[in-house]
Chain A
Amino acid sequence: MASDTNIHRWKIEKGRSGDVIFKGITVLFAFFILLILLLMVVEMALESLPAIRKFGGSFISGRDWDAVQGSFGALPYIWGSVVSSMLALLLATPLSIGAAVFITEIVPKRVGGVIIALVELLAAIPSVIYGLWGVLIMAPWLQRSVEPFLIKYGGFLPFFQGAPYGVSMLAAVFILMIMIVPIITSITKEVLLTVPASQKEAAYALGATRWEMIRIAVLPYGKSGIMGAVILGLGRAIGETMAVTMVIGNTPQISLSLLAPAYTMPSVIANEFAEASSKIHTAALMEIGLILLVVTLIINILARLLLWSVSRQKGRPVP
């Protein structure tokens, strides 16, 4: 009997030490995630240190990017990134919110389900394939049809001056818009689903039409979540690399014209990093990466805080 209980105790002890070891392993792996994030920031900062030391603030304000002379100013890339993603966001936001409202509030659930499944499936298409379509189908179409039209009727504006190249800021804006619309739409849809039926019914009870119900009950309720979705879309647009690199024309210049080729921060990294000619060139590209990382970190933290506040209200995860 005594030996029996001993075996028993031994088993319990073994279980306990197993518990400790197992918990230790899970803690370790969970902390990997934090570590990765920390590592990214530290590593990028360290690698870009030579460029930060050498150029200081003139790195951001400088327009000259010359690997041979060793002078690096990132303004054209910053300009290209800001303009392309802002314009894309400006176009994508109303479209996405409109589509999300249409899917959740107007069409029958079944139809909405089919549309959203289609949108989400297409959102999974990799960026390089958007780029392939952009450079072989969309850009030639822009060059043939859209840009001559814009030059003819909008040519008096500084935005539509110059020759129709096809690959241009305009092409980047369009491809970015097409790429971020599915993301904003599907997250906005999730947010709108958290609007309680009682809110909508209250609006209807006051005699509101459907649009009035959407305006006074649905949209205000989902406001912070929708903001989160839009900001997340902005983060995607700024960090988007392959598709933009393939259609923007990769010319570091600051032009008001949407028809002119431009360059973005991720694109210059994609094009030059593997063949960087000198240590300082690599460091300069790393600094562009660091700026990109810090900006997208801030954007993502903001977006997640907004989206988390929604999921906490409802206790339902919002992707």
Chain B
Amino acid sequence: MIPLTWRKVKNGGMTLLMALFTLTVLIPLVLIFIHIVRMGVSSLSLDFFTQIPKPTGEAGGGMANGMVGSALLIALASILGIPVGIFGAVYLAEYGGSRIATTIRFAADVLSGIPSIITGMVAYALLVVPLKGFSALAGAFALSLIMAPIVLRTTEEQLKLVPVSLREASLALGVPLWRTTLKVTLRSAMKGVMTGILLAVARIAGETAPLLFTALGNQFWGKKLTEPIAAMPLQIFSFAISPYEDWHRLAWAGALVLVAVMFTLSLTARYFGRSKQSGL
């Protein structure tokens, strides 16, 4: 028999070890956060929001074109990706249950683990090559491929939370199933669906790899959707690996703005998600 004191010592030791592990997990994350805020705040200026990047060696400049470009890419990707996610989820939650629904669910889960650079390569083969050039369109398409499975899974979870009795009440009043789904089921799950959409937007807002050879980036303002377009993550990437101090400062400022936008999105999503029981 192992003596009790030794077991107690072991218990204490393991507890301490796990506390240390938790601390080790948190320290780098907190450090990154502090650095982004400190370097970002000291580099931010009004120019950042109104100017486009200055040529190499010149001080100042901003990421106005990248911000507009990113917003445009996200909007386009949402137009393509959200309907697929929501209507696909309606199928899984309202008509599914068969083996095929399980397969689709599984495919969505697997899809969200595929490296995003592959998504970029596929978008390149499907849109950049046929259209003979890098374009905002191809970038948005790549992002929508990432967005759709996320929206699908979160929407489905939310639809499942809507009580069956609500659907039955509507059907009993003679409302056809499709109208019931649109006006009753989806509407009652609206908050949860919004949460999913916000989380998906937060995810694609920072995606860089799928844009590298689709949207490509642009030093100036893009004029058409069939032209390369600037995006914040791409600008942060190219400025961060450049040897210039001024560009590093721009990258930090960009990182701060991007992180602020993303945190706002996911906090809003959490707020929406909290009022109802969330799947997460």
Contacts and interface: CB of A to CB of B under 8 A. Distances in A.
A319 B29 CA distance: 21
Interface stretch (B31-39, B48-56, B71-79, B219-227): B31-39
Contacts of A209: 7-8, 10-11
Interface stretch (B61-69, B90-98, B187-195): B90-98
Contacts of B208: 126-128, 241-242
Nearest to B233: A128
Contact of A29 (B91, B157, B236): B91
A15 B179 contact: yes
Contacts of A10: none
A126 B149 CA distance: 18
A241 B88 contact: no
A44 interface: yes
B240 A235 contact: no
Contacts of B33: 122
A300 B114 contact: yes
A211 B11 contact: yes
Interface in B227-280: 233, 236-237, 240-241, 248, 251-252, 255, 258-259, 262-263, 266, 279-280
A96 B18 CA distance: 10
Given A106-B18, A129-B36, A317-B157, A289 B206 contact: no
A118 interface: yes
B95 A125 contact: no
B197 to A, nearest CB: 15
A44 B115 contact: no
Interface residues of B, number: 96
Contacts of A31: 104
Interface string B91-121: 1101110000101101111110111111101
A26 B91 contact: yes
Contacts of B45: none
A204 B17 CA distance: 21
A294 B242 CA distance: 33
Contacts of B203: 124
Contact of B21 (A94, A126, A178, A266): A94
B212 A270 contact: yes
B108 A43 contact: no
Interface string A44-55: 101100000000
A316 B240 CA distance: 42
Contact of A211 (B15, B35, B83, B207): B15
Contact of A242 (B10, B84, B96, B237): B237
B2 to A, nearest CB: 10
Interface string A178-194: 10011001000000000
Interface in A48-97: 94-96
Q: Counting chain B CB atoms within 10 Å of each CB, which of A36, A127, A246, A289 scores highest?
A: A36
A18 B178 contact: yes
Given A119-B25, A212-B7, A30 B233 contact: no
Contacts of B236: 128-129, 132
Interface stretch (A133-141, A149-157, A253-261): A133-141
Interface string A237-275: 011111000100000000000000000001001100110
Nearest to B12: A211
Contacts of B117: 239, 241, 266, 269-270, 289, 292
A25 B124 CA distance: 27
Contact of B22 (A23, A98, A296): A98
A33 B107 contact: yes
Contacts of B86: 29
Contact of A246 (B22, B213, B241): B241
Interface in B1-29: 7-8, 10-11, 14-15, 17-22, 24-26, 28-29
Nearest to A210: B11
Contacts of B134: 274
A135 B124 CA distance: 28
B129 to A, nearest CB: 9
A297 B101 CA distance: 19
A133 B206 contact: no
Nearest to B86: A29
A22 B121 CA distance: 33
A286 B262 CA distance: 32
Contacts of A211: 10-11, 14-15
Give 6 nearest A-B pairs by CB, closest first.
A126-B206, A239-B115, A15-B176, A98-B21, A22-B178, A26-B91
Given A99-B18, A122-B32, A127-B206, 11 more contacts: A30-B101, A36-B149, A39-B122, A102-B18, A128-B208, A135-B241, A212-B7, A239-B113, A273-B212, A289-B121, A292-B117
17 contacts: A15-B179, A16-B176, A22-B177, A22-B181, A30-B101, A33-B104, A33-B111, A43-B122, A119-B29, A124-B262, A128-B206, A132-B252, A133-B35, A266-B209, A274-B134, A292-B118, A293-B118
